[in-house]
Structure formats: C-alpha cells, structure tokens
Amino acid sequence: MITDVHTHFWVPDHQAAPWTDDLSRVARKHAQGSIDEVTREGYRAQVAPAERSIVFGLQAQASGIMVPNDAVAAFVRDIGGQTVGFLSVDPTRHDAVDEIERAHFELGLVGVKLGPIYQGTSPMHPLCLRVFRTAERLGLPVMIHQGAIFTAAGRLSDANPLLLDDVATAFPDLKLIIAHMGHPWIYETVTVMRRHRHIYADTSAIPNRPTVLANALCAAKEYGVLHKVLFGSDSPMVGTGNAIDTLQRVVTHTQKYGITSITDDELHDILHRPSFDLLEIKAPEPALILEDHQ
C-alpha cells in the first residue's frame, strides 16, 4: 500500500501576495496543470497511485496564505477513502492552541502542519514551542517545513533542521516529519533523525531536484535512518505518479554510479512504508465513509 504523506489543499481565496507571485515563479514550471486551485477531481487524479494520503493547508500570514481548517476538513470529507487531514495554525496568532484543539476535536483533523519560516518565526520561539507542547499532549504528529522556502518571509538561519534537535529534546514523545528532507540541509536532517527516534522525513518536492534526492537517500542509508524516510509528493506541485517515477530513476542512478546504492527492496519499502502506523494515525473506515455518502 502506497501512502503519500505530503499533499496540499487550497483555492485562490486562500492565497495572496507574496505567496501567489512567488509560487507561480518557482512552482508552475514543475506542476501538471493549474496549481492555484485544488479540486476533488484534480486531487484524485494527482494522488491516484497512492491508496492513502495526508492533506493539509497552511496558515502563514507573513507569506500570504491562510487556508481555513474548516475548509480542509470539508475537503477530506469530500475526498473520502483513506485520506486524512492535518490542521495548520500560525503560531504568531494568539488563538493557536485553541484552534489546534478545535480543529482536532471538532473537525477530526489528526495532525499539525507548521512552517515556521513561512510564518516569519523560528521553531525555537516560545509561540512555536506552545504548539509543539500542545501537539505532544494531544498525540498529534507535526509535519514541519524546516528548510529553504520560495518567499522572503522569515530567516534562513531559523530554518535549519538542526534546530529540531532542541525541539525533540524538549518534547521527546512528539512525532515530527521534516518535509522535503529539510533541503538543502539534508545531512543535518539525517543527523537529527538518527539522534531522535520520533523524527522522520519525507521525500516531497525534491523529485524536482534529483541530485539532492539521490544524496538525501544515500545519506539516510549511510546514517542508518532510511527506514524513517516516508514517501510524499507535494501535490499539486508534484503529482504522486511523477514523484514515484523520479524516485525510481534516482534509485537506478545510485545503483549504477553511486558509492552508496539504494536497492530495489529499499525503494519498495519507502513507497510502501506503513506511515499511518508509524505516526499512530488511524485510517478511516471505508464502510463508514460509504455510509456517509449515501
């Protein structure tokens, strides 16, 4: 079973400058079709190779994107099947903790999406730390963009994955997924993955950078954490099928030319990783979903 742990939902009303300008500049050339609006039909087509998926919005006032959690929850209900939703909060908002509890208990969202640099802050800021504390208390995994971004928000020095060493030390039961292998800091990412048992990383977006992807996978193997690499696409910028195809090409390249090669079995394990189980996410019951749509 293929699980795609990194897919997005948004519509034009959720986006403003500088997000709209910068996303068009850097992502449109990589995407299939429109990336401005995620529809039910478009989403299903994009993630079709995956039987399970995680979808989320992003709330980042500093970058010009604010996707309501109610809209994400409604999209998850509309998609049905084995798709679950993560909530997002902007930690700079005073009601961030209340919104986490509301979106989890009332809307049924099962994880948290954060992007401190998009949100103009640092994972070590007290406003972010209260979000981590709440997520740990509620048992919610956190997908965190801790790496380079395409907007001018935040400070790159606050985006280094090494900062998550302090976060994981402070919150040892918190499950963290570092998006995009923390690129360009892939070696820092695998270092903190090895040090902390609850830190994972996903392969999303970096199929657009096959050299980075190859180095990231090889580094993860050399550091003994390849089993903690989860498959993700970054839909709608990168579709699930395209991400799988690129992974296969990159793995073949490591087998032909790499000092450290990724085997076919290891690629199979990445694609078929039981990510929901590792993150302690309960998959929706198909029978209940069918009843809801009658």
| 222-272 tens-digit pLDDT | 999 999 999 999 999 999 999 999 999 999 999 999 889 999 999 999 999
Q: In this predicted model, what pLDDT tens digit does every residue of 54-71 receive, in sequence order?
A: 999 999 999 999 999 999
Mean pLDDT of the chain: 92
Share of the chain above pLDDT 70, in %: 92
pLDDT, residue 286, reads 67
Q: In this predicted model, what pLDDT tens digit does every residue of 168-178 receive, in sequence order?
A: 999 999 999 99
Structure tokens at 218: 């090889």
Q: What is the CATH number of the domain that holds 183?
A: 3.20.20.140
Confidence of residue 16 (pLDDT cuts 50, 70, 90): confident
Looking at the structure of the chain, the number of domains it has is: 1
Q: Residues 145, 117: contact at Cβ < 8 Å?
A: yes
Share of the chain above pLDDT 90, in %: 82
Checking if the pLDDT of 51 tops 80, the result is yes
**Whats the size of the chain, residue-wise?**
294
Checking if the pLDDT of 32 tops 60, the result is no
pTM attached to this predicted model: 0.92
Structure tokens at 182: 């923390």
Q: Residues 124, 167: contact at Cβ < 8 Å?
A: yes
Apex 273 CA angle, 191 and 30, nearest 5: 80
Its domain, for residue 234, covers: 3-292
How far does CA 150 lie from the centroid of its chain?
A: 16
pLDDT, residue 289, reads 40
The CA distance from 143 to 132, in Å, is: 11
The CA distance from 226 to 219, in Å, is: 8
133: three-class secondary structure by DSSP: helix
Residue 290 belongs to what H/E stretch?
A: helix 286-292
Confidence of residue 150 (pLDDT cuts 50, 70, 90): confident
The closest of 267, 252, 181 to 219, measured between CA atoms, is 181
Q: Residues 238, 208: contact at Cβ < 8 Å?
A: yes
SS3 content of the chain, % helix, strand, coil (to 5): 50, 15, 40
Confidence of residue 47 (pLDDT cuts 50, 70, 90): very high
Checking if the pLDDT of 13 tops 60, the result is yes
| Helix and strand numbers, DSSP H then E, in the chain | 12, 10
* Radius of gyration, CA atoms only, the chain: 18
DSSP secondary structure letter of residue 82: E
